């Protein structure tokens, strides 16, 4: 599993129910260290695991999410500090430069994300995060990536340095940022926050029920606004989507609002919005097959959703939920 999903209240409910960390670890089949990281919001927990946690702690799954009504300030602050720490580490380590360099070299060699990920013995989501500059790379992983690009590690580092000196990598980073901004509020809609500074603490919500459990989005007509949570401060691209579909089952109340950050990388275990048309989306749970290819799952009835893994910009990550 990969790191960071959301601030949660698992520790609070575990203590209220008199359960130990070891009991929860045994129930999920993970280590004590993993439970500690999960409770702090530093490590990913997928949907099935979340359901099992709720079962053990005898509480509704939605109560494990932090929101404006039930959040504990120390949990949210701890999570935000961890994000700031990781961002500083990433900048200091030059991970964005590395990621941009890998992307440039991969494109020059006409290789796809999937091809490099498979050759480097990585899942697609892990390699994608590396190219996005959001994940550190071990020496072994660097060796595997270099081999996948038909280069030695020294050659790879040298080429990336040359690209950086030419200013090409900064251009790629800025282009990627611009690409995500164009996808904001969804599909390039003009942000209400840009048009009206007084609404900076509000997030627009879109979405009405479509056919087969899909959701239709009219960016000209928001259905309502919700208070911007602290985790989305400074994220003007964020938007909300009404949960007007039961294709995710009964895990969340029908009145829920999904809060979405288009700039976040979608990984296995996430709930995500998948654009099949500019104004129509599917709400899916992200899975990964044995070949590292992402796909989506919906229920009622069960359905596997194929995803174009070469254009992951069609996926927007759900980063918080209003219940």
CATH number (3.30.70.20, 2.10.109.10, 3.40.50.40, 3.20.20.140) of 185-322 reads 2.10.109.10
Q: What is the pLDDT of residue 47?
A: 67
Q: Using CA atoms, how far apart are residues 261 and 105, in angstroms rounded to an integer?
A: 28
Q: Using CA atoms, how far apart are residues 154 and 98, in angstroms rounded to an integer?
A: 13
Q: Using CA atoms, how far apart are residues 248 and 215, in angstroms rounded to an integer?
A: 12
Report which of 131, 122, 125 is spatially closest to residue 99, judged by C-alpha positions: 131
The position carrying tokens 């359960």 is: 19
Q: What is the pLDDT of residue 152?
A: 95
DSSP string, 191-220: PHHHH-GGGTTEEEEE-EE-GGG-EE--TT
So where are the chain's domains? 10-69, 93-182, 185-322
CB-based contact 299:249 (threshold 8 Å): yes
Q: What is the pLDDT of residue 113?
A: 83
- The tally of CA atoms less than 13 A away on the side-chain side of residue 140 is 2
Burial of 298: CB neighbours in 10 Å, binned 0-12, 13-18, 19+: buried
Q: What is the pLDDT of residue 68?
A: 43
Same fold, 10-69 and 93-182: yes
Q: What is the pTM of this model?
A: 0.46
Q: Which residues make beta-bridge pairs with 242? A: 257
Fold topology of 10-69: 434 Repressor (Amino-terminal Domain) (1.10.260)
Q: What is the pLDDT of residue 23?
A: 93
Classify residue 266 by its DSSP letter. P
Q: What is the pLDDT of residue 153?
A: 93
Q: How far from the centroid of its chain's Cα atoms is residue 322's Cα?
A: 17
Q: What is the pLDDT of residue 177?
A: 55
Q: What is the pLDDT of residue 181?
A: 44
Per-residue pLDDT tens digits of the chain, which is 323 residues long: 333 345 677 887 888 788 899 999 999 998 998 898 888 766 777 767 888 888 898 887 767 776 544 555 665 565 566 556 656 655 555 788 888 899 899 989 998 888 898 899 887 767 887 887 777 788 888 999 999 999 999 999 999 988 888 888 877 766 655 544 443 334 444 333 333 333 457 889 999 999 999 999 998 888 999 888 877 877 778 899 998 988 876 666 777 889 998 878 888 878 899 999 989 999 998 888 888 888 999 988 889 999 987 778 889 998 888 87
In words, the CATH class of domain 93-182 is mainly alpha
């Amino acid at each position: 599993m990969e790191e960071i999903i959301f601030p949660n209240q698992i520790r609070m409910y575990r203590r209220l129910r008199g359960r130990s960390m070891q009991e929860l670890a045994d129930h999920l089949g993970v280590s004590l260290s993993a439970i500690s990281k999960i409770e702090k919001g530093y490590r990913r927990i997928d949907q099935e695991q979340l359901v099992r946690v709720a079962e053990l702690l005898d509480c509704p799954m939605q109560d494990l999410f932090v929101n404006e009504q039930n959040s504990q300030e120390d949990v949210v602050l701890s999570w935000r500090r961890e994000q700031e720490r990781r961002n500083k580490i990433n900048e200091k380590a030059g991970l964005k430069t590395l990621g941009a360099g890998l992307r440039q070299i991969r494109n020059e060699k006409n290789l796809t994300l999937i091809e490099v990920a498979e050759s480097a013995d990585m899942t697609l989501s892990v390699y994608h995060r590396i190219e996005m500059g959001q994940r550190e790379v071990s020496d072994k992983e660097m060796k595997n990536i270099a081999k996948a690009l038909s280069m030695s590690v020294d050659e790879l580092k040298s080429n990336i340095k040359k690209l950086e000196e030419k200013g090409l990598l900064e251009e790629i980073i800025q282009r990627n940022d611009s690409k995500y901004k164009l996808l904001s509020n969804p599909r390039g809609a003009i942000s209400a926050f840009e048009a009206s500074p007084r609404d900076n603490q509000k997030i627009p919500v879109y979405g009405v029920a479509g056919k087969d459990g899909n959701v239709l989005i009219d960016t000209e007509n928001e259905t309502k606004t919700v208070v911007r949570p602290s985790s989305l401060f400074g994220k003007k691209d964020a938007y909300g989507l009404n949960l007007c579909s039961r294709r995710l089952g009964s895990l969340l109340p029908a009145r829920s609002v999904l809060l979405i950050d288009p700039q976040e990388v979608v990984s296995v275990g996430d709930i995500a919005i998948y654009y099949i048309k500019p104004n129509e989306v599917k709400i899916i749970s992200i899975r990964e097959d044995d070949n590292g290819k992402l796909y989506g799952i919906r229920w009622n009835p069960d359905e596997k959703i194929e995803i174009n893994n070469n254009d992951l910009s069609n996926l927007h990550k759900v980063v918080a939920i209003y219940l």
